[in-house]
Structure 1
Amino acid sequence: MKIIKNFPNYHESTPLALSIGTFDGVHLGHQSIINQLNTVAQKKNLESAILTFWPHPRTVFSPDDDLKLLNTIEEKTYFLQKHGVQNLFLKEFDADFRNLTGEEFVKQILVERLNIKHLIIGHDHTFGKNKSGDFSLLEKMAPESGFEVEQVEAVDFRDKHISSTQIRNALAAGNVKEANEMLGYVYSVAGKVVHGRKIGRTIGYPTANIAVDQIKLLPKKGAYIVDVFVKGQHLKGMLSIGTNPTVAGEELSVEVYILNFEDDIYGEAISVNFREFLHEEIKFENLEKLVERLDEDKIRTEKFQF
C-alpha cells in the first residue's frame, strides 16, 4: 500500500476509486465500503484509495472533548492495508483544509489532485466547511467532473447502525464482546512494558504495566480476560484498568498478569486483546481479599476458550 501524506505536490495520473472518511476502528461498516471500493477498482481497472484525516476532525473542532480513538494512526494503516486498499492519503486537518467548501473540496482535492473516477461514501457522510458537501452535491457535480459516485448503506448490529461512536460507547460500558462483534475483530491495546509500583509481585500476581498511546481509547475501568502477545508468544492474561484503589493508587494504569509466564519483559513491546469483562474496579478491605478475587479471576481465565 502506498502512503501519501498531505499530497502537496501529488499529481499522479493513476485514476482512482476512492472513499473519504475518518475510518476510526475500520469496523464492519467501513469494511463494507472497502469491499465495494476494491470490487469497483478491479472491475474498472482503477486503483483503490482511501482519503482520511489526522488528527481526527473532532479534535480540531472540539479540542476540549478529549476524544479517544479506536485506532492509532499505525493501527488504522495496518487494517486498511490488510483489507486490500492500494493507496492511503493522509491529510492533516489544518485550517486551510477545513475552510474549503464542499464544492471547493471536490474540485481542488478530488478532481484536480487525486484524479478520481469513482467515489464511494458512507450513508451519512458530509464534508466541507459547515458540512456543505453531501451525497446530493456529489451527484450534481459528478457528471461534469468526470467521475461516478455511489453511497453504501450502513451495516446494522442489533437494529442499530454500526458506527465508531457505537463502538466507543460499548467499550466505555465494558461491553467488549459487543464491540468486537461490531469491529469484526478483537479490540486491542499495545505499548511498551514499563516499571510500575511492583505491588503485584508481593502478592503472587506480578503484572506488566503497559504504556498505552494517549490517543487510544481504553475500555471501562475494571478487570478483563485478555490474550497477550509478547516476545513472539501468545498467552492468556488478566488485565486491570484502573487506579488500584486497594493500595491507594491515584494514576490510571493498564496492568496485565500473564498466566504461566515469568520472563523479564521490561522495555518489550506488548499487545493485549480484550475477550471478556470480569468485573468492575473494586476497592478491597485488604490485600488478602484482593488475592481471593484474583484467584477467582485466574480460574475463570484459565477456563476461558479463545
Structure 2
Amino acid sequence: MKIFKNFADYSSLKPLAMSLGMFDGVHIGHKYIIDQLLIKGAKNNLETALLTFWPHPRFVFNPNENLKLLNTIDEKTELIDLYGIDNLFLKEFDENFRNLTGEEFIRKILVEKLNVKYLIIGYDHSFGKNKSGNFELLKKLSKELDFEVEQMEAINIHENNISSTKIRNSLLLGNIKDANEMLGYSYSVSGKVAHGKKLGRTIGYPTANIEAGHVKLLPKKGAYIVEVYVDNQFYKGMLSVGTNPTVNGEKLTVEVYILEFEGDLYDQNITVKFRDFLHDEIKFESLEKLIERLDEDKKLTEEFQF
C-alpha cells in the first residue's frame, strides 16, 4: 500500500475507486466499503484508495474537546493495509483544506488531481466547508465530471446501525463483546511498558504498566480478560484499567498480569486485545481481599475460551 500525506506527491496513470472519511476503528461498516472498492477496482481496472484525515477534524474545530479515538494513526494504517487497499491519503486537516467548499473539493481534488472515477461514501457522510458537500452534491456533479457515486446504507447488528461512536460508547460501558462484534476484531491497546509502583509483585501478581498514549480510547474502568502479545508470542492475561483505589491511587493506569510469563518487559512494546469484561473497579477493604479477587479473576481467565 502506498501512503501519501500530500496530494502533490500523488500521480498515477490509473483512475481511482475511492472512499473518504475518518474510518475510526476500521469497523465492519468500513470493511464493507473497502470490499466494494476492491470489487469495483478489479472489475473496472481502477486502483483503490481511501482518503482520511489526521488529526481528526474535531481536534481542529474543538481543540478543548477530550475526544478519544479507537485507532492510533499507526493502527488505522495497519488495518487498512491488511484489507488490501492500494493507496492511502493521510491528509492533514489544515486551514487551506478546511476552507474548501464541497464543490471545490470535488472538482479540484477528487476529479482534477486524483482522477476519481468511482466514489462510495457512508450513509451519513458530509464534507467541505460548513458541511457543504454531501451525497446529493456528488450525485449532481457526477454526470458533468464523469464519475460514478454510490452511498452505502447503514450496516446493522441486532437492528442497531454500526458507527464509531456506538463502538466507543460500548467500550465506555464495558460491553467488550458488543464492541468487538461491531469492529470485526478484538479491540486492542498497544504501548511501551513503563515503571509503576511495583505493588503487584509484592502480592504475587506482577503487572506490566502500559503507556497507551493520550489519543487512544480506554474502556470503562475495571478488570478484563485479554490476549497479550509480546514479540508476537500469545499469552493469556488479566488487565486492569483504573486508579488502584485499594491503595489510594490517583493516576489512571493500564496494568496487565500475564499468565505463565517470566521476564523483563520494561521499555518493550506490547499489545493487549480485549476479550471479556470481568468486573467494575473495586476498592477493597484490605490487600487480602484484593488477592482473593485476583485469584478468582485468574481462574476465570484460565478457563476462558480464547
TM-score, normalization: structure 2?
0.98
> Contact 1:5–1:89 at 8 Å: present in 2 too?
yes
CA distance in 2, matches of 1:140, 1:164: 28
1:233 aligns with 2:233: yes
Please give the per-residue CA displacement for 1:146-200, whole angstroms capped at 9, x wherever unaligned: 2111111111012111000000000000001000000000000001111100000
Q: CA deviation at 1:270?
A: 0.4
CA distance in 2, matches of 1:157, 1:65: 29
Equivalent runs, 1:16-95 vs 2, <5 Å:
16-95=16-95
Equivalent runs, 1:1-306 vs 2, <5 Å:
1-306=1-306
The root-mean-square deviation of aligned C-alpha atoms, in Å, is 0.9
Ranges in structure 2 where 5+ consecutive residues have no aligned partner:
none
Indicate the SS of the match to 1:179: helix
> Contact 1:188–1:274 at 8 Å: present in 2 too?
yes
Please give the per-residue CA displacement for 1:183-240, whole angstroms capped at 9, x wherever unaligned: 0000000011111000000000000000112111000000000010013320000000
Moved more, 115-124 or 165-174: 115-124
Ranges in structure 1 where 5+ consecutive residues have no aligned partner:
none
Q: CA deviation at 1:66?
A: 1.2
CA distance in 2, matches of 1:263, 1:286: 29
CA distance in 2, matches of 1:203, 1:9: 56
Q: 1:149 to 1:294 in 2, by over 3 A?
A: same
- What stretches of structure 1 move > 6 A for 4+ residues in a row? none
TM-score, normalization: structure 1?
0.98
CA distance in 1, matches of 2:107, 2:11: 14
Indicate the SS of the match to 1:112: helix
Percent sequence identity over matched residues? 66
Indicate the SS of the match to 2:8: coil
Which residue identity does 1:170 align to in structure 2? Answer: S
How many correspondences in the alignment?
306
Indicate the SS of the match to 1:276: strand
Moved more, 161-170 or 90-99: 90-99
CA distance in 1, matches of 2:190, 2:243: 19
> Contact 1:13–1:115 at 8 Å: present in 2 too?
no
CA distance in 1, matches of 2:102, 2:21: 14
